[in-house]
Amino acid sequence: MAHGPRGPSSGSFTPVLLENPGAGLFAGYTPLPGAYDELFGRDGAPRPEFLRTATLLGALAPNEFARAQHLAELALLNQGVTFSVYADQRGAEKIFPLCLIPRMLSAADWAHMERGLEQRVRALGLFLDDVYGDQRILKEERVPRDLVLGSGQYLKQVHGLRPPGGVRIHIAGVDIIRDPAGTFRVLEDNLRTPSGVSYVLENRLISKRVLPHLLDKARVQRVDHYPARLAETLRSVSPASPSGTSAVVLTPGPYNSAYFEHSFLARTMGLELVQAPDLFVDQDQVFVRTTRGPRRVHVIYRRIDEAFLDPEAFRPDSLLGVRGLMRAYAAGNVALANAPGNGVADDKAVYPFVPEMIRYYLGEEPVLEQVPTYLCMRDDDRRYVLDHLDQLVVKAVDEAGGYGMLMGPQSTAAQRDEFRARIQATPRRYIAQHRIELSTSPTWDPTAKTAVPRRLDLRPYVLTGRDGSWVLPGGLTRVALVAGSYVVNSSQGGGSKDTWVLKGPGENAQRTPSVGAPGAGPAAVNNDPPGAAPGSDPPEAP
């Protein structure tokens, strides 16, 4: 039986409900053995918390869903929702594929994750304050001094500098996976220039346009207020009053892989998108050139890698940065988001010590688990890794996007030999982990025209301003579209899904900001695109 109008002419799509839902979208769907399926339990039935939504989705006939998926892809194309892959010699922009079947999270799971993310970002912020300050955690040998100060991401130039507003991690994108037991585990912390949130917002717009009735009935938390929250966060750390603050988004330019996102965020926040030649520094103050003359800038959301941010302080050959910017920052006249130097906290070799940071600075046990990790710089760990390369996932600490990685169980002997040599030559540069069987979710297969299980991860976004943190209810779900793949990165065949965080009983309003103000000092001290062009967003592109 059909309900309501449908068709591309209306710009939306209303599902045709079947008399027999078993013949619909999920007919014949079989979860992947050994993996946690996000939507279906081991008995093959939808998980109770998602029963309503799964029934609505499952009632779609495959041919109707195929048409909805086609409409979504047309919308992506028409709206130019793209990214670039620098490793692709053609240099062409690509559509970021979207699977219209959403990934769902229950209100209870989200509340747990939200607590863990706020806790983690708070501890990482205190770690950065400490490392660029008294270095107590290093003096007390809770984290190895050589590991931290030997990190390529540690910036001596910012030691002793206190960022305006007292916040270093204004925007965090923490990558989270789910293991076969259903446990959320942090995979990595992205604290420099995390990308991808524009796709979260675009995916939701397309879902609303193509499946409006389904989205309404599912009681999904909204995400469209992220730009307003981000603008509020930026203004909160301004050295000027919020009402008198001038903020801009600094981009390397249209050849950057994440330029779509830079322009999207500037536009939706109502801020100017600028490049280095648009800015200049005079008497340790930053100004933007306008048709009405220079205008003071108080906050910069910078999407340029810090090595290229200021040729006076870092790489002298940088054409992307603003000379004197770090002097203005040191004088407290401009806030930079995220703060330069954050990379030392999301170094993959520092990651194993984050639980210890949480205990040290907060006197709490970590809410979120992470993945046990071998540090190849340690003799015992390195021997184990070299003896078990065929069982481990090896990662270079300074690579991202699925590059610089060995998937041991799927590798050839030649690949293992190559990585063995690399590890022996520069052990500090590598870590290793046992492969976690990633959770799966029903994903549209356009060839078979049916839903199939595909592995995925999640990148939630945490904003932190002067008054505390706020977590966007949802995040970027990346999905491995290729059968059998564990790599979800867009540059290697990955796509995305809209992430639906369901409202709890009686929940209609959004949560207000929570947690204590960052930068307030330790409490009870016991005391988360490869091949990127120089200068921007390389480690955290989606």
Helix (H) or strand (E) holding 242: none
The pLDDT score that the predictor gives to residue 542 is: 52
Mean pLDDT for the stretch of residues 193-219: 92
pLDDT, tens digit, for every residue of 300-347?
999 999 999 999 999 999 999 999 999 999 999 999 999 999 999 999
The pLDDT score that the predictor gives to residue 6 is: 35
484 φ/ψ sector (left φ>0, alpha ψ -120 to 50, else beta):
left
Least confident of 39-53, 269-283, 409-423, 484-498: 484-498
**Residue with the larger pLDDT of the pair 516 and 218:** 218
Mean pLDDT value across the chain: 87
Q: Which amino acid is at 485?
A: S
Would the pLDDT of 541 be above 60? no
Q: What percent of the chain has pLDDT over 90?
A: 74
Would the pLDDT of 516 be above 50? no
Would the pLDDT of 268 be above 90? yes
Least confident of 204-208, 366-370, 400-404, 408-412: 400-404
- Reading the block at residue 10, the tokens are 């209306």
- Of the pLDDT bands very low, low, confident and very high (cuts 50, 70, 90), residue 536 is very low
The backbone torsions φ and ψ at residue 223, rounded to the nearest 5 degrees and listed phi first, read: -130, -5
First to last CA, the chain: 40
- Reading the block at residue 75, the tokens are 């919308």
**For residue 502, what are the β-bridge partners?**
220
The pLDDT score that the predictor gives to residue 82 is: 67
Would the pLDDT of 14 be above 50? no
With both helix axes pointing from N to C terminus, report the angle between 259-269 and 226-236 in degrees, rounded to the nearest 10: 80
Mean pLDDT for the stretch of residues 217-236: 96
The pLDDT score that the predictor gives to residue 493 is: 73
Residue 357, classed as helix, strand or coil, is helix
Least confident of 22-26, 473-477, 523-527: 523-527
Listed residue (55, 73, 52, 68) closest to 17, CA to CA = 55
Q: What percent of the chain has pLDDT over 70?
A: 86
**Residue with the larger pLDDT of the pair 359 and 76:** 359
Mean pLDDT for the stretch of residues 81-108: 76
Would the pLDDT of 532 be above 70? no
Mean pLDDT for the stretch of residues 225-243: 96
- Of the pLDDT bands very low, low, confident and very high (cuts 50, 70, 90), residue 76 is confident
**Residue with the larger pLDDT of the pair 62 and 11:** 62
CA distance 252 to 71: 33
The pLDDT score that the predictor gives to residue 92 is: 59
Least confident of 11-20, 120-129, 169-178, 367-376: 11-20
Q: Which amino acid is at 139?
A: K
**C-alpha pair distances (Å), 206 with each of 102, 215, 345, 473:** 12, 11, 35, 17
